[in-house]
Structure formats: structure tokens, C-alpha cells
Amino acid sequence: MQHLRAVLEQLGGCRVLIVGDVMLDEYVRGEVSRISPEAPVPVLEVREVRSSDVRLGGAANAAANIQALGGKASLVGVVGTDDSADAMRKHLEEHGIARLLVPDPSRPTSKKTRLVAQQQQIVRVDYEKRTPVSGAVAEKIKREILGSLPDVHAVVLSDYAKGVVTPEIAQFAIAAARKANLPVIVDPKQRDFAVYRGATVLTPNLHELEVAAPSGGPFDLERSVAKLLPTLEGAALLVTRSADGMTLYRADRPSHHVPAVAKEVFDVTGAGDTVVAMIALALAARVSFEHALELASIAAAISVSKRGTSTVTPAELLAALDAG
């Protein structure tokens, strides 16, 4: 793995534009020792709620990972006009992320509140509105994308199906990035992957791939990939496969597989954002796909070894490379 040290050094300072669904991840931790007399549900006794229990999630977490890995992130997303929007701006500022947030009074800022007892999540409460953006909000997003492209080396579409990455905005961003000769990395949630046609690479997990290419029978990875690739206008598929690692598929080329390196898995929340961030930085630096995948696998292993939504640093990657 020592050959990756030189590759890692190339990533510092690369600038990436992230467009997508920003959200906050809130963790309320406590203990459960009794059942409520009002209903057959556990009672979570909260000992303390700290500001550190609120973290950047979704596209904002992808941006935080870009920043933590030594890159420079600019973020285009939509927030409401509420306290969560203020918290979002504060956390983005603390991470040094350039904020290009479009306010929409008709929707709340997306937030996921997880209630955790003895390190076990017992319920999640989502505050969100998933209708597609349109009108003045959509046009503002397009203007922010166009205004950002001259200053970046790559573009990420972080689609969490909350309404920001509509088919229209996806195609607008991909076309504009291709015109500027910028790689586009997509974390997809649309059922129709053709929405992302023309991107550089899509990073679905196995479930997302199965939804996009249903076979009517037992899921077959190779068959689904063969069905999808011709619809993507040259985009590659990087399929993340949890404990089985990740596999890159490109038209007219052999597949390239990288095994998982995780030894302990505590929490997979946000690990996909870490993979996307690493791939985006590597492609921004014009690093080969093969080396990008190796680094992404190591970064994912570090991410899942932490609890909750988290980021990965170059120091942690270097330590992992030395240990390997």
C-alpha cells in the first residue's frame, strides 16, 4: 500500500463542488431501563445533550469529508428558514465549507434525529419534505452551479432523494461540468439511472442497483450492470458491496474489484459519503480509477470503525497505509 502515499499527497487542495440534499444528523443518547406505562415502548432517559451530537449529514457530510481529506469543498443545497438552517450554516462554517445554500420557506431543513440507548439505535425521527424543487429555487440552484464551476476540479451529485437533484438539475449539472471538462461523481437514489447519463461514475450500493435494474427474479449483479451500462452514455458504475468490497464496471473493459479492508464495523452511517469524497478528490487530481478505489476502500474501513456520521483525515489514511 506504500505506493498510495504519493497518490494521497496529490489530493491536497483539490476543489470539489457538491450539489445535493443537505441535512443534519442529530444523536440523542441515553439509557433504557424500563417500559413506558403509557404504551409498550422503551423509555429513553437522556443524561446529556451536547452540541457535538449534531453533525453534518447527506451532501453536507460528503462536503465535510472532502474538507477533512485536505480538499476544498463548495456546497450547493436547499435549506428551510428555521433553526436547523442556522445550525447547518454554523456547522458548515466550522468545517470551512463554502456555503451556497438556497433558502426555501416551503420546506424544513432536512434533519434525522436518532435516539440511541446503550450504543443501539432504537428509533429515528425524520424532519423533511421530499418534493422536487422547482421554480425560483431550482433556477437559483442552477445559477450557483454555473457560478462555481470555473473554480473547481470535480463535481459531486449527492442525491438522497429529498428533492434537490431532480432529473433536470442532474442533467444541467452534468452537461455544464462536461463542457468544462470536469469529472462528475454521482451518489444515486433515482430509480432511473439514465437521469445521470453522461456522468463520469455512479456509486450505487447493491440495493440501489437492484432497484434501478430489477430482474423479476433473484438479484444478479452482473446482469443488472450489463442492463444499465448502455443507458449511461459512458458513465462507469462503482458498486459498493459492504463486506465484499467494491467493484468498478466500465463499458468495454474488464471489471476491477477491490476487497473490503474493514476489521471492525461499528456504524455504516455516512460511509458512502466517505467513498464518494475520496473518489471525487482522486478524480479531481487526475488519479487513476484503480488507485482511487484502493484509497476509497481504506477510507471506508476507517469510517465504519467510528460511531455515527464521521469524516476521515489524511493522517488516519497514512496510519492505515503504514499498518498495511
What is the spatial distance between Cα 239 and Cα 236, in angstroms, rounded to a whole number?
10
Based on its alpha-carbon atoms, the radius of gyration of the chain, rounded to whole angstroms, reads: 20
The two most distant CA atoms of the chain are separated, in Å, by 63
Q: At what angle do helices 167-179 and 135-148 cross, to 10 degrees?
A: 20
Residues 6+ apart with CB under 8 A from 86: none
Tell me which H or E stretch contains 18.
Answer: strand 15-20
Note whether 224 and 209 are within 8 A (CB).
yes
Any idea which residue has 443507458 for its cell? Answer: 231
Which has the closest alpha carbon to 156: 249, 260, 71, 80?
Answer: 71
User: 23 pairs with which residues across the strands?
Assistant: 57
Q: Is 273 a catalytic residue?
A: yes
Q: At 198, phi and psi to the nearest 5?
A: 95, -10
CA angle, residues 222, 227, 230, in degrees to nearest 5? 120
154: number of CA atoms within 13 Å, CB side? Answer: 32
Note whether 310 and 273 are within 8 A (CB).
no
Other residues' Cβ atoms within 10 Å of the Cβ of residue 94: 10
Q: Which of 53, 86, 273, 322 is catalytic?
A: 273
Note whether 297 and 259 are within 8 A (CB).
yes
The residues assigned a catalytic role are 273
